[in-house]
Amino acid sequence: MLKKNTWAISQTSTTTDYRYSICPYPININLILLNIIFYRLIKIMRLKILSESFITNGLDISSSNKCLLCSKVLEKHKDVIIDNPEGCIFKLEFFHPQLEYSITEYVNCIEFTAPVDTIILPNSIFETFFIDFHSEYYLDIEVFIPPQATKVIFRIEDRDIFNITDIKEFLENKIDKVYKFLREGQTITIDSHKLFIKELEPYSICLVNNTDLEVEFDAPEIKPPTPPPEIKKETIVNNLDNICDRESNKPEIEKLSREELRARRLLFYSKGGN
């Protein structure tokens, strides 16, 4: 058992993040590490991933953050679930064995009817994990209790939503009927309208099933149209005076009489045409 003023694991009031308090004197670090590892082993479960094709009772979880879990998860975390009547969600940690990187996702369980030691996920999360439906994959799962959302700022992805008379009232009445929680950076769909969650308060992941949610919109950036390239026009002269002026500047042609022209012609041929 850890004493006061030593390294201690303390759970916050709103999330299941775990932090340490600084110890003023030397302690047994190995003991602390063993406590942490033991706690993690108790808290986290490892489940096999199944696709939504394994659902046999007609439930639709496609393109959502919903899942089905085995009853063992309920048995393990029933005290936490009972102590949080507003609800809780589940944090998934998946390590891709080929690509060698970890991905974190959050889901809402709608039933504990999945086969033993499995989790049934929507196909969209398979795409997020970059995994196929035929190979065998596993993930770690734990309970996560986020706070209730107080404010959300959306960025409009579908301008058709502006045809609705009161958009804020429409969303405030609709969101909690479709989603149990929201996450920053997530794109949600409400009645075919797509909305990007730009900001969320008081946390980056929040429940929205029992709260007075304040909805705001990020003003869309309107860029001025790019000006067309300048077209160089040919100079067209429509002024007859300019034409006359150019003609008047030409050198005058010498005018000869018939007799003068005949005399010059005879002189030309008398010289042999040279």
Q: What is the CATH number of the domain that holds 131?
A: 2.40.40.50
Within a domain: 228: no
First-last CA distance in the chain: 131
Are both 135 and 59 inside the same structural domain? yes
Are both 97 and 75 inside the same structural domain? yes
Within a domain: 119: yes
Structure tokens at 87: 């609800």
> In this predicted model, what pLDDT tens digit does every residue of 117-150 receive, in sequence order?
999 999 999 999 999 999 999 999 999 999 999 9
Last residue of a domain, one of 114, 144, 174: 144
* Better-scored residue on pLDDT, 82 or 41: 82
Are both 5 and 35 inside the same structural domain? yes
Are both 57 and 127 inside the same structural domain? yes
Within a domain: 243: no
Structure tokens at 27: 């302690």
Report the percent of the chain where pLDDT is more than 90.
41
* 10 pLDDT above the threshold of 70: no
Report the percent of the chain where pLDDT is more than 70.
71
Q: What is the overall mean pLDDT for the chain?
A: 78
Give the E-state strand segments of the chain in sequence order.
9-11, 18-20, 45-51, 66-69, 89-96, 101-111, 118-121, 138-144, 151-156, 181-183, 187-190, 193-201, 205-207, 214-218
Are both 83 and 134 inside the same structural domain? yes
Looking up residue 168, the CATH number of its domain turns out to be 3.10.330.10
Whole-prediction pTM: 0.63
Within a domain: 107: yes
The answer to whether the CB of 224 falls within 8 A of the CB of 215 is no
Last residue of a domain, one of 125, 144, 163: 144
DSSP code per residue over 214-231: EEEEEPPP-PPPPPPPPP
pLDDT at 155: 87
Q: Which residues contact 205 (CB under 8 A, 6 or more apart)?
A: 89, 106, 144, 146, 181, 182, 183, 184
Are both 23 and 106 inside the same structural domain? no
pLDDT at 248: 59
Whether the link from the prior residue into 115 is cis, omega within 30° of 0, is no
For residue 170, what are the domain limits?
151-218
Structure tokens at 253: 């042609």
Are both 133 and 168 inside the same structural domain? no
Within a domain: 188: yes
Beta-bridge partners for 89: 144
Q: Which residues contact 7 (CB under 8 A, 6 or more apart)?
A: 20, 21, 22, 23, 27, 29, 32
Last residue of a domain, one of 144, 179, 210: 144
Number of structural domains found in the chain: 3
